[in-house]
Structure 1
Amino acid sequence: MRIAVFGASGAVGSRVVAEAVARGHEVTAVVRRAVVMPEGVRVSIGDAGSADDVEKISAGHDLVIAATRPAVGRESELPVVAAAMLDGVARSGVRLLVVGGAATLSVPGAGALLHETPEFPAELAAIAQACAEQLAACRADAEADWTYLSPPAELIPGERTGSYRVGADELLVDVDGVSTISMEDFAVALLDEAERPVHRRARFTVAAS
């Protein structure tokens, strides 16, 4: 597959690029400024917040992965980027996989979304709201072929096991109530969905097995 990854230099994006390359895909890393990428990865300078850039760069690809994340204090940019990504891929006719947030997942037994629980950190309120608007933008879109992947409560650097559990709109937790996955296995799940689409125009989530 020919895959364009927006936000390719970020924590998740770089792991997505590595996983895609390891699987033999042709990867275009889309970044705001020139960076060093693994051998064989094409680098393209572009703005995920520009529908024109998204359309131009995505043309000729089989899939676009949106792995962008705004800096602290600029969280409101996230739904704006989502709208631009959706518009751009709708024009080019390329499928879109969005790396989303966990805040809008329902918590088992709590009767509330993750960001509505008392334990949810106040300092994450802005990004939680932005992710909620990001998901809403996807669900409201009538043109793009999108898929939205929510991580569990904890998405951290770790090991690639190649194993994970899949859910829909409910937070996945283990027997101890822990909800986590490594960024490496998150990338595995993302590329599995890229290669074998199951959640077209839908949100799903994953967590460590």
Structure 2
Amino acid sequence: MKIAVVCANGKEGSLIVKEAMDRGLDVTAVVRGENRSAAEKVIQKDLFQLTASDLEGFDVVIDAFGAWTPEELPKHSTSLKHLCDTVSGKDTRLLVVGGAGSLYVNTEHTAQVMDGPDFPDIFKPLASNMGKALEELRARKDVKWTYLSPAGDFRADGARTGNYILGGEELTLNSKGESVISYADYAIAMVDEAVNGGHIQQRISVVAE
């Protein structure tokens, strides 16, 4: 299996690269600058400059793009649109490192995590922009996409336990009543999805056991 990880130098991207490499998969890092991931194969190119030919032949493209400053937040939409356009109509699957703010908290799917009174104001612009990108992604019937939302508490330095619970569109709590996942366990879930690929044009979610 040939996998390309876009934005492979980031915290989550680099862990996804390592997880896939450890499983013996054929991994290419897509990075804007010098490659700092574990991948030996590299495409050194800005995400927005990627072409269909750059991503030709990959079974899976994993989008680990992230933007955090107010002026960069709209790039969640524009970057995802660009990647969708590059794999449009192809068998290549596009897996997206998503956000938790857009997960639903009711069975009617009318209320999201980001709508709650306890959701921190500082994260609302990020959640809103990522939620908008997801809604735009849902409209793409020409792409074999999967959007993987982490738990509400997404811990960069959390331990790798090797265990997780796979959920769907709604916020899932573990047996302790928590919504938490480490970056390392999220990487396991993402590579599992890359290998097994059973959620085409679906948003799924993951939480630690």
Check whether TM > 0.5. Answer: yes
Residues in 1 aligned to 2:67 and 2:139: alpha-carbon distance in whole angstroms: 22
Residues 171-197 of structure 1 deviation map (CA, whole Å, 9 limit, x = unaligned): 111344321011111000011111111
* Secondary structure of 1:204's aligned partner: strand
Q: Find the counterpart in structure 2 of residue 184 from structure 1.
A: 184
Q: Which of 38, 41, 55 is equivalent to 1:58?
A: 55
Residues 96-137 of structure 1 deviation map (CA, whole Å, 9 limit, x = unaligned): 101111111112599721000001111111111111111112
**Aligned pair 1:83/2:81, yes or no?**
yes
* Secondary structure of 2:83's aligned partner: helix
Written as runs of structure 1 = structure 2, the 5 A alignment for 1:59-208 is 59-73=56-70, 74-90=72-88, 92-107=90-105, 112-156=111-155, 157-208=157-208
Residues in 1 aligned to 2:203 and 2:84: alpha-carbon distance in whole angstroms: 15
Structure 1 residue 208 displacement after superposition: 0.2
* Structure 1 vs Structure 2 CA RMSD: 1.8
**CA contact 1:34–1:43 (8 Å) conserved in 2:** no
Partner amino acid for 1:23? Answer: R
* Secondary structure of 2:172's aligned partner: coil
* Secondary structure of 1:20's aligned partner: helix
Residues 147-170 of structure 1 deviation map (CA, whole Å, 9 limit, x = unaligned): 000111011122222110011111
Unaligned 5+ residue runs, structure 1? none
Written as runs of structure 1 = structure 2, the 5 A alignment for 1:2-41 is 2-38=2-38, 41=40
Calculate percent identity across the aligned residue pairs. 36
**CA contact 1:26–1:41 (8 Å) conserved in 2:** no
Give 4+ residue runs of structure 1 displaced > 4 Å after superposition: 108-111
Structure 1 residue 48 displacement after superposition: 2.2
Partner amino acid for 1:95? Answer: R
Residues in 2 aligned to 1:162 and 1:54: alpha-carbon distance in whole angstroms: 35
**CA contact 1:47–1:54 (8 Å) conserved in 2:** no
Residues in 2 aligned to 1:145 and 1:102: alpha-carbon distance in whole angstroms: 21
- The verdict on how the C-alpha distance between 1:107 and 1:34 changes in structure 2, with shifts beyond 3 A counting, is same
Residues 70-98 of structure 1 deviation map (CA, whole Å, 9 limit, x = unaligned): 13221111111111111111155411101
Unaligned 5+ residue runs, structure 2? none
Partner amino acid for 1:199? Answer: H
Give TM-score, length-normalised by structure 2. 0.92
Residues in 1 aligned to 2:51 and 2:184: alpha-carbon distance in whole angstroms: 26
Give TM-score, length-normalised by structure 1. 0.92
Written as runs of structure 1 = structure 2, the 5 A alignment for 1:37-52 is 37-38=37-38, 41-50=40-49
Partner amino acid for 1:83? Answer: K
* Secondary structure of 1:49's aligned partner: helix
